Chain A
Amino acid sequence: MSSEPNPPSDAANEFQEQENPALRGIDYSESTNVNQIHESILREKVDPQEGEEPISLVLIGIIGVTLLFGGIYLGRYWGAFDGMIYDERARSVVAGAATGGGAGAAGAPAAAEDPVAVALKLGKRVYTANCASCHQGSGQGAAGQYPPLVASDYVLQSERRLIALLLHGAEGPMTVKGNVYNGAMPAWEKQLNDKQMAAVATYIRQEWGNNGGPITPEQVAAARVEFASQTKAYNEAQLLAIDGPIVVK
């Protein structure tokens, strides 16, 4: 610190160009004066503080628009968050599954277009979202509370009975596979459309080793018309009176 470096003349000239002496050499100076060298420490401004200005409305607006755009873009090209969908232009889950299946299982486009395979994929999603909380992912239900779907007559025996049950629900004591359950199954008439209900019915008839045939959206539509007069949940006796397949005219 005590040594005094000799400034080159060009640097000294630079400083004569400065007009405002208060701003002299904020980061550097070429002084030969020991006191001035120490000033390089003293002249330093205070450490930075933070002001308290609020965020302006315009900026909040810009942020809002950006977020809105992000949401729209994500909604348009989200690919259903499905690991098998590679084409961001796929519009719906089913169309995406078809495209994704085609890209994923190259050489087997026939399998991708199989309506039952597509229905099973959709059915699994519907089941997971709506049914699994009671009947469990395994379809085994919960002992004493929710009846199992695996190897259950209500699922496998009659297409008409199954769809009637799904459309309007059930309540009161029911015997399933030898055990009595006394709960309430909600009606799904309004929540699920024909395609979703057909898909979930097909799914529970073919998953977990069940061997029932598929059910089509047309069959569900026909059942809706047939059972339209039913306004409240079925009891066991009413359900057992419904039997046979759904015939689409």
Chain B
Amino acid sequence: MPGDAADALERAQVDASCRVPVMLFFASAVFWLVVGTLFGLIASYKLHNPLFIIELSPWLSSLLEKFSPAGTVELINASLTFGRIRPAHLNAVAYGWAAPVGLGVAVWLMARLCRVPLRFPLLVSAAGVLWNIGMFVGIGVLLSGGSTSIEWLEFPPFVSFILFLSFALISIWAVDMFVHRKPGHVYVSQWYIMAALFWFPWLYGTANMLIQLIPAQGSVQAIVNWWYGHNALGLWFTPLGLAAAYYMIPKVIGRPVYSYYLSAFGFWALALFYSWNGGHHLIGGPLPAWLITSSIVASVMMVIPVVVTAINHHMTMKGNFQVLRYSPTLRFVVFGAMSYTLASLQGSSMAFRDLNTVTHFTHYTIGHSHLGLYAFYTMIMFGCIYYIVPRLLGREWVSARLIKIHFWTCAYGIVAMVLILSVGGVIQG
């Protein structure tokens, strides 16, 4: 069922206008995903065998002695210690991959849903370049030992400032796009994108202000830290992932989203409850009981938006599951949407004090975070890339078989990883 010719022309214009900035975001994001995954692999090995790579020193030095000054091997070994490579992994995948790929998708979705060609494409591209400059400097600082040691905010203030500036440009651009949209219904994906682009600079700015520039005193810093740490996932990656799922699922199968009321309800419930969740990272910490309790309650309340969104997605898909066989986009996105439900319900249960006593500070938490950021967010973003890139470049994917292999290796890999980490975490706790 093709749309009519005027619509198709409009979409083609929008896609053409997005080509450079969105591809810039996608390409750099994939680069950082590869780098970040490599960091993660090294960190994982190092955790079990701290001498990993260091054992290769004699071989490395004989290899490098002809090309590089003395001390190079020692420098490499120092850079790759667990204490440096672990934050480098987190920052490379969170700020290098997840954020830019989400921005790329958000930029494209905004242009599509506002139904106007991208305004100020140079500004968006400049923001992308700026972001990557920040990333290179930041990862360099982390590997050379300059981490601030604050989880999720390891980058020193001057790097945070570059990222903040780049993000602020995108946010301002999004408002401008929204103001100049073609009249008509404002689709649910647009709410999520606008909200995410508003929330994140606020979160990032406030957290950096209160932790690095004008440090709050004592345990308040921990509150700010986890307020930011959890909201970065909940009020930034989650809305972008949901915005993409809300667009891609009905788009690919060609029928409306099940219920506007569920969309609206899910959105506001997420906005209301997610912002309180951070405190559940500090259960047992030296903080007033009410703060921890209210964050646990809010974590459990997250069941509401999650169930609402899950039902909305499921009822949209109902009767169209056979499309999964043909559409890689849909396969990735539906896998991600299901993982969102799973990860969120797991997260709600983990907030309980009794379970938290066992799982906190173990691999169980690591399993949970990968279920959220990989099985949910990253899989949806992969699906979006498979949908968007051919439209931007006017070329089709080279091999359908490779896409299939990509999906199944990802799916098996992440399921195995999460299961093993969860079981290991419970034993550990």
Q: Taking beta carbons and an 8 Å cutoff, which residues of A are in contact with B?
A: 1, 5, 7-8, 10-11, 14-15, 18, 20, 23-31, 37, 39-55, 59, 62-63, 66-67, 69-70, 73-74, 77-88, 90
Contact = CB atoms under 8 A, between A and B. Distances in A.
A145 B7 CA distance: 73
A30 B400 contact: yes
- Name the residue in B12, B290, B300, B307 with the highest tally of chain A Cβ atoms < 10 Å from its Cβ: B290
B67 interface: no
A17 to B, nearest CB: 9
30 contacts: A1-B394, A5-B395, A7-B396, A7-B398, A10-B401, A11-B398, A18-B326, A26-B327, A27-B328, A27-B329, A28-B390, A28-B396, A40-B396, A41-B8, A41-B12, A45-B3, A47-B113, A48-B189, A50-B185, A50-B260, A51-B257, A51-B259, A52-B260, A55-B261, A55-B262, A63-B307, A77-B296, A79-B289, A82-B288, A85-B288
Interface in B269-321: 286-290, 292-294, 296-297, 300-301, 303-304, 307-308, 311, 315
Interface in B4-41: 5, 7-8, 11-12
Contacts of B403: 28
Contact of B323 (A23, A31, A77, A86): A23
B58 interface: no
A59 to B, nearest CB: 6
Contacts of B400: 10-11, 14-15, 28, 30
Nearest to A36: B396
Interface in B147-180: none
Contacts, number: 188
B127 to A, nearest CB: 26
Contact of A11 (B3, B189, B311, B399): B399
B215 interface: no
Contacts of A86: 286-289
Contact of A50 (B257, B330, B398): B257
Interface in B386-414: 386-387, 390-391, 394-401, 403-404
A8 B113 contact: no
Contact of A48 (B250, B308, B353): B250
A45 B251 contact: yes
A36 to B, nearest CB: 10
B396 to A, nearest CB: 5
Contacts of B262: 53, 55, 59
Nearest to A99: B289
Contacts of A30: 396, 400
Contacts of A77: 289, 293, 296
Given A47-B112, A77-B293, 6 more contacts: A11-B400, A47-B251, A66-B300, A66-B303, A77-B296, A80-B290
A53 B259 CA distance: 5
A241 to B, nearest CB: 47
Nearest to B254: A45
Contacts of B296: 73, 77
A44 B257 contact: no
Given A27-B386, A48-B247, A43 B2 contact: yes
A45 B315 contact: no
8 smallest beta-carbon distances between A and B, as pairs: A79-B289, A45-B254, A48-B250, A88-B289, A53-B259, A14-B400, A50-B260, A49-B256
B396 A88 contact: no
Interface of A is mostly: loop
Contact of B394 (A24, A37, A73, A79): A37
B263 interface: yes
A66 B390 contact: no
Nearest to B287: A86
Contacts of A29: 396
B401 A53 contact: no
Contact of B290 (A8, A20, A78): A78
A5 B397 CA distance: 10
Contact of A27 (B265, B325, B327, B399): B327
Contact of B293 (A1, A62, A63, A78): A78
B261 A8 contact: no
Nearest to B329: A27
B188 interface: yes
- Name the residue in A18, A47, A52 with the highest tally of chain B Cβ atoms < 10 Å from its Cβ: A47
A51 B256 contact: yes
B36 to A, nearest CB: 26
A191 B301 CA distance: 35
A44 B327 CA distance: 13
A194 B259 CA distance: 56
A40 to B, nearest CB: 7
Nearest to B403: A28
Contacts of B386: 27-28
Contact of B300 (A69, A81, A88): A69
Nearest to B326: A23
Nearest to A76: B293
B288 A83 contact: yes
B293 A88 contact: yes
B11 A70 contact: no
Nearest to A83: B288
B382 to A, nearest CB: 12
B218 to A, nearest CB: 13
